[in-house]
Structure 1
Amino acid sequence: MTTNTNPARCRLTSVYLRELATTLPGRYTAVLPHLERVPMLTGAQLDRLLATTATDRQTTARVRRRIMARLGRLGLVATLDRRVGGARAGSAGHVYTLTTGGHRFLAISRNQPPPGRVRRSRAPGVMFLDHTLAISDLYVDLVCASRTTEVTVRQFATEPDCWHPTTSGGWLRPDAYTVLAANAYADCWWLEIDRATEPLPRIRTMCHAYLDHATSGGTGPDQVLPRVLITTPDQRRADAIDTGVLTRLRADATHPDTGLITAVTHHEAAEFLITELHTHNPQSDAQTHHFG
């Protein structure tokens, strides 16, 4: 469950949120789109997103605490009761999430219709929290890497918004979908965040679903067939998926497009994605879309 930081949330009317959208300084509102893209962010992850070359770690953490405290009082964000790393982690271990009021605030500030009913999640278990924050970690890695490259994180969606219907009437259920852009080109990726908790046969079934979708002419959200990246906790797991799953699929004549799926470690994922965008020939790569 989440900590109720604003006892008066019932007063978050559209009129109030519209007024707040015109008066709340940008340093506060800049945090909210990040929490819209991913369900949860820790204090440490927010510190990375807020960091600048002009501030040290202590200053960044102090600014983040002030920003999140005010957003909490306004009812736009909430803090989970569970803290990553325990009490010793301090505020860096706090886990923040966007409230229904926060979603409405963003819609109003963009002159968009109010969002549909936002699902309120139950208190997350340890495994769910670990998996969700691993997705957030990759998002933060990509955003931070984009600041020192010519790459833009054009889109990053998590489940269920990233799920996609198949040609056979089922659904692909990736953990995330991202579009990385550089100049006039963009790469589309479905992301599977593996925590080494699933047996290899289940990973093989998942890969078959993506390959079946590809061989049947299926595409993705932007009418381009995304590639699939599986990220793993360590190299041993990545090697196990490559040799135990992907190598066998490459020998399967019914799935010729086995280059569609790659497994790398979670630590290497952001660099891999950015390198792929820069090195692939957009004129010949089916997964690189021209936006010119």
Structure 2
Amino acid sequence: MNDKENKRISKPELRRLSALLDSHEIEIVQTINQVKFITANQLQRLYFTKTDNRVTNLRRCNRKLRRLKNFGLIADLPRQVGGRKSGSNSTIWAVSSAGYQLLRLDDMTLNATRKRLYEPNILFLEHTLAITETYTRLHEMNQKSKIHDLQVSFEPQCWRSYMKKDGVATFLKPDLFARFAVDDETEDFVYYELDQATQAPSRVVRKCKQFLAYYKSGIEMRVNGVLPWVVWITPSKKRREQLTRYIHEAIPNAERIFRIITMEELETLTFDTNKEED
């Protein structure tokens, strides 16, 4: 990232820029800030869906992104998903320092200071984009009325604090939290963990046990009156089968809380507890 993308600008200039933006553009900048990194493809699926022609929608999306970039509010990363030959839909976007400052004008809950915009390492970037993809697909499900009233919390808002057995305060750090209605009578609460197959299955099991320790603290039940599902999303069926085996061997009745799926299975995932007793 260059110095221009990390440049601080005056409040009067920020106010001038804010007056030039419509509510849709502000919402786009807010979303990019929330997810940290997002591709043009994901942004198009979130905000540019008016026509059935995806090429037209993507073209409109890219025009909007160029406008926000020209204002200095967002920046594109030097690398692209799938390489340069993948086209503009694979461009990765982040909020610039000026964009963050603009958001703070109307949201003082944002930190007064923020680290300089930087190009992340590939593992962190892939993991973050997987979280963004999960959110994008949940949003699409909500738009198609497969779920309703979607509410999502990103890191660090979705993190939870609790006391371990030794009395030491600690954090549970899921990647994403979602609350949504399936029908008029059913509402689901879900923590999502994005597995990139970069860590040993034993570490995944340890994270699962941390969820159990947090649930035993009683905090979640007091807040929501229900224990959320924990869904691990894996990059392949082979990895899904591996994690399923390790988790079920280590945790009795793991199916009562944990689900292990691939990203392609997210839309068809159901939480039918009756199946557990078959």
The TM-score, its normalising length taken from structure 2, stands at 0.83
Equivalent-residue separation in structure 2 for 1:129 and 1:76 (angstroms) = 20
Equivalent-residue separation in structure 2 for 1:115 and 1:81 (angstroms) = 27
SS of structure 2 residue aligned to 1:250:
coil
Structure 1 segments unaligned to the other structure (5+ residues): 252-256, 282-292
The Cα offsets for residues 13-56 of structure 1, whole Å up to 9 and x where unpaired, read as 33333343343134423322321331111111122223324251
How far has the Cα of 1:204 moved from its partner? 1.2
Equivalent-residue separation in structure 2 for 1:201 and 1:230 (angstroms) = 14
Equivalent-residue separation in structure 2 for 1:181 and 1:105 (angstroms) = 33
Number of aligned residues = 266
Q: Which residue of 2 aligns with 1:179?
A: 179
How far has the Cα of 1:207 moved from its partner? 0.9
Equivalent-residue separation in structure 2 for 1:58 and 1:196 (angstroms) = 33
The AA in structure 1 aligned to 2:11 is S
Q: Which residue of 1 aligns with 2:203?
A: 202
The Cα offsets for residues 172-214 of structure 1, whole Å up to 9 and x where unpaired, read as 1212222224668643222110111211111111111111221
CA separation of 1:187/1:221 partners in 2, compared to 1, >3 Å: closer, same or farther? farther
Q: Which residue of 2 aligns with 1:153?
A: 150
Equivalent-residue separation in structure 2 for 1:121 and 1:185 (angstroms) = 41
The Cα offsets for residues 88-129 of structure 1, whole Å up to 9 and x where unpaired, read as 012112100112332332343xx4326212233542122221
Equivalent-residue separation in structure 1 for 2:273 and 2:18 (angstroms) = 41
Counterpart among 256, 267, 274 of residue 259 in structure 1: 256
Equivalent-residue separation in structure 2 for 1:6 and 1:123 (angstroms) = 12
Q: Which residue of 2 aligns with 1:68?
A: 65
The AA in structure 2 aligned to 1:37 is Q
Q: Which residue of 2 aligns with 1:37?
A: 34
| Stretch deviating more after TM superposition (190-199 or 223-232) | 223-232
2:110 is aligned with 1:115: yes
The Cα offsets for residues 245-268 of structure 1, whole Å up to 9 and x where unpaired, read as 2243116xxxxx761221111221
The TM-score, its normalising length taken from structure 1, stands at 0.80
CA separation of 1:201/1:114 partners in 2, compared to 1, >3 Å: closer, same or farther? closer
Equivalent-residue separation in structure 1 for 2:116 and 2:45 (angstroms) = 26
Counterpart among 110, 128, 136 of residue 132 in structure 2: 136
CA RMSD of aligned residues (A): 2.8
The AA in structure 2 aligned to 1:246 is H
Q: Is the 8 A contact 1:167 1:218 kept in 2?
A: no
Higher RCO structure, 1 or 2 (CA under 8 Å, sep 6+): 1
CA separation of 1:216/1:113 partners in 2, compared to 1, >3 Å: closer, same or farther? closer
The Cα offsets for residues 134-160 of structure 1, whole Å up to 9 and x where unpaired, read as 1111111111111011513212313x3
Q: Is the 8 A contact 2:153 2:178 kept in 1?
A: yes
Equivalent-residue separation in structure 2 for 1:157 and 1:232 (angstroms) = 19
Q: Is the 8 A contact 2:152 2:178 kept in 1?
A: yes
| Stretch deviating more after TM superposition (20-29 or 190-199) | 20-29
SS of structure 2 residue aligned to 1:142:
helix
Counterpart among 209, 234, 239 of residue 232 in structure 1: 234
CA separation of 1:228/1:220 partners in 2, compared to 1, >3 Å: closer, same or farther? farther
SS of structure 1 residue aligned to 2:8:
helix
* Percent of aligned pairs with the same amino acid: 25
Q: Is the 8 A contact 2:96 2:117 kept in 1?
A: no
Counterpart among 18, 21, 30 of residue 18 in structure 2: 21
CA separation of 1:221/1:63 partners in 2, compared to 1, >3 Å: closer, same or farther? farther
